[in-house]
Chain A
Amino acid sequence: MPDRLRFAYMNARLLDPASGRDEIGHVLIEDGMIVDVGPDIFPDGTPGHMEVIDLDGLCLAPGLVDMHARIGEPGAEHKESFESAAAAARAGGITTLCTMPNTDPVIDNVALVEYVHRRANEGSDVHIRPFAAATQRLEGKQLTEFGLLQAAGAVAFTDGDRAIADATVMRRVLSYATAFDALIVQHAEEPSLARNGAMNEGELATRLGMKGIPTAAETIMVDRDIRLVEMTGARYHAAHLTTAKALDAVRRAKADGLPVTCGTAPLYFALNENEVNGYRTFAKVSPPLRSEDDRRAVVAAIRDGTIDVISSGHAPEDPEAKRQPFEQAEFGAVGLETMLALGLQLHMSEDVPLLSVLACMTCNPARLLGLDCGILAAGHPADLVIFDPGAPWIVDSKKFRSKSKNSPFDERPLQGHAVRTVVEGRTVFVRRVER
């Protein structure tokens, strides 16, 4: 594919959540940048002398920005490497992938951020952006060098799947972050309430004889953090919210004008706790799958804009980590290759406007992270996903590009997938039509 050339995608359904655009039209690309977008960009109706690709009504949107993916590198390359993650991302229509710092070693210093940057982007054709640890070794005690890490390329700070539990430490994390306008991303779960828990607390956990994690573990942490944001003014993002009450707390904080945002993952709007019945460890995720009422509250919060971000929550695990008694098994599910289709399902089955769903996977995370992608408009990079929203397919985890296959959606029929993924004007993925 040309990348130093002018070329155009014609006759696409243009979807730009940032501007609200949803119309048939064309995109003109030059040197990897979007030059023009719209139905009338060619005065005489034809683009003249350049390569054109007629999309015949397929959807064209900004490439997805996945704000939360755990990759095995460094330390667990057998579960996922940058190469395998990038391949999975491309197939999932994701053009920017943010990686978590809870690796081995932990991404908590400048050298490691630079390493990720270099390793991730050598030979990889999706943008990989590292999050850095908020505290050293993720111990929740000593702050990391936010300023230097940010300069080295860290786009946000988080302790990954651990909450920053100590209130004083969290206060200082938030306070210090304001000096660099850094975004702090919290795994919102009070660890002392969640300890030894393997699933949502309630009737099902009692029947299965397992210790549960109460919804209050999430609510308490979000409530506390909102108070600390009030004190500090820092930009705070709760990574994956799963409960009606925590979402209400965020809704109120936003109404109060606080710089609080939150995200969720397809797991939490597509599934409920019943998935773990029969001790299905592929549905063991952190935070845990919740009740049907909470699942509906997540959908409602996406619809009303309380939830800003849908991320894959990608957490690859090998069979050895999952083929265990439930309480011994690792938490986590892969998500890169199912995120788009599950988002589309939210539109089709739950009646959430398509642009609202896409905003959560494109311009919203890009804005939070200060990235110039996620927007389908002139002057932005030509990171694009072209998808067929109606194409039916059945999830077959064996065919995942991901090294790990731990998906609770295996064998599930879904609709819609990326047919072409474009990064800086270059086609990095084309789906072969399977007949």
Chain B
Amino acid sequence: MQDLSRSDIQRILDLSEEFIELNRQDKKKLTDLQGRTQINLFFENSTRTRTSFELAGKRLGADTINMSVEASSTKKGETLIDTAMTLNAMHPDVLVVRHPDSGAVALLSQKVDCAVVNGGDGQHEHPTQALLDALTIVRRLKRLEGLTIAIAGDVMHSRVARSNIYLLNTMGARVRVIAPPTLLPSGIERLGVEAFTDMRQGLRDVDVVMMLRLQRERMQGSFLPSVREYYHFYGLDHEKLSYAKPDALIMHPGPMNRGVEIDTDVADDIHRSVIREQVEMGVAVRMAVLRLLVAGRRNRVVGNA
């Protein structure tokens, strides 16, 4: 995401718009990628991202297969390059890769001839999530430029936060991050954001609130004292939300921890929560990315630093 220009992003979003309508029809199948092979290679569990990519590929007419590899069982990632070589020999046209290590997707992409889409690598980037978030915002608010957008939660461990920061900055939005100090990574301001540790201050007059998932294991390792305290100070409820603009959108990449980072009432607020729309946009954005990459140029990774 860090390397995509404003016009690249705009092009993907424009194309995605076309697919939204298609996805709402009964007949959803295109032939753009007919005869092409897409492999979803997931070294980390993910139901929604994998399903979304799978549907996107199928609707474009590609043959898609899923491969799940337990990263922990591959001894110190030794087989990453071997896996890449093996798959490469089968001549796929595109690999969608998710891996628990930052930079692993870029490494893999150097070893294969086909296009590679980053489906999330470690704490580095999750470009299609940022794109679908952008599409969701644009559909609702008609623009990105000039909006103030707060990203709240576990910024330190979040690839979603990083990709969103790059994309939103590129598109001219003002980005804030809100987190307890132990979950704010060092030098985050240098990425072009304003950092807040007080959620109410951070939410003041924002147009969009993007919540991040809090991994429960962060309670170990002394990042946080307790879920209760976290929810009290950083959980999104109606009271804290009242500091944002009255019509501010509520977003979450899922899956949500209700009662940890977000209150159930807020998550299900039909006027403001666009969390389900995000899922819908996900398929459209991934279709756009796949078509641009596979039907067009090859040997490129989307959104790797």
Contact = CB atoms under 8 A, between A and B. Distances in A.
A278 interface: yes
Contact of B123 (A203, A210, A279, A328): A210
A328 B2 CA distance: 23
A208 B185 contact: no
Contacts of A206: 162, 185-188, 190-191
Contacts of A157: none
A43 interface: no
Identify the interface centre among B81, B102, B121: most chain A CB within 10 Å of its CB.
Answer: B102
Nearest to B104: A325
A203 B159 contact: no
B94 interface: no
A277 B304 CA distance: 12
B76 interface: yes
B259 interface: no
A67 to B, nearest CB: 31
Nearest to B125: A209
B78 interface: yes
Nearest to B108: A325
A347 B232 CA distance: 59
B78 A320 contact: yes
Nearest to A323: B81
A389 interface: no
B305 A327 contact: no
Given A203-B191, A209-B121, A212-B186, A325 B101 contact: yes
Contacts of B77: 324-325, 328
Interface in A168-208: 201-208
Contact of B102 (A202, A203, A208, A323): A208
A376 B271 CA distance: 84
Contact of B80 (A203, A209, A212, A325): A325
Interface residues of A, number: 22
A259 interface: no
B124 to A, nearest CB: 3
B252 interface: no
B168 interface: no
A416 interface: no
A201 B186 contact: yes
Contacts of A323: 81, 107
B103 interface: yes
B177 to A, nearest CB: 11
Contacts of B107: 279, 323-325
Identify the interface centre among A201, A214, A279: most chain B CB within 10 Å of its CB.
Answer: A279
Interface in B165-224: 185-188, 190-191
B92 interface: no
A325 B99 CA distance: 10
Interface string B120-132: 0111110000000
A176 to B, nearest CB: 35
Contacts of A209: 102-103, 121-125, 159, 162
Interface string A296-330: 00000000000000000000000010011111100
A203 B122 contact: no
B99 A207 contact: no
A203 B101 contact: no
Identify the interface centre among A202, A277, A320, A323: most chain B CB within 10 Å of its CB.
Answer: A323
Nearest to B101: A325
Given A207-B191, A209-B123, A327-B101, A202 B305 contact: no
A86 to B, nearest CB: 31
A212 B2 CA distance: 20
A325 B103 contact: yes
B101 A326 contact: yes
A203 B104 CA distance: 20
Contact of A207 (B80, B121, B305): B305
A58 to B, nearest CB: 43
A326 B76 CA distance: 11
B215 to A, nearest CB: 14
Nearest to A326: B103
Contacts of A278: 106, 305
A320 to B, nearest CB: 7
Identify the interface centre among A203, A204, A209, A326: most chain B CB within 10 Å of its CB.
Answer: A209
Nearest to A327: B101
B129 to A, nearest CB: 14
B305 A208 contact: yes
Nearest to B187: A203
A77 to B, nearest CB: 20
Given A207-B2, A278-B106, A327-B122, 16 more contacts: A201-B186, A203-B186, A205-B187, A209-B103, A209-B125, A209-B162, A210-B102, A210-B123, A323-B81, A324-B76, A324-B80, A325-B77, A325-B99, A325-B104, A325-B107, A327-B101
Pairs A-B, 5 closest by C-beta atoms:
A209-B124, A203-B187, A325-B101, A209-B123, A279-B103
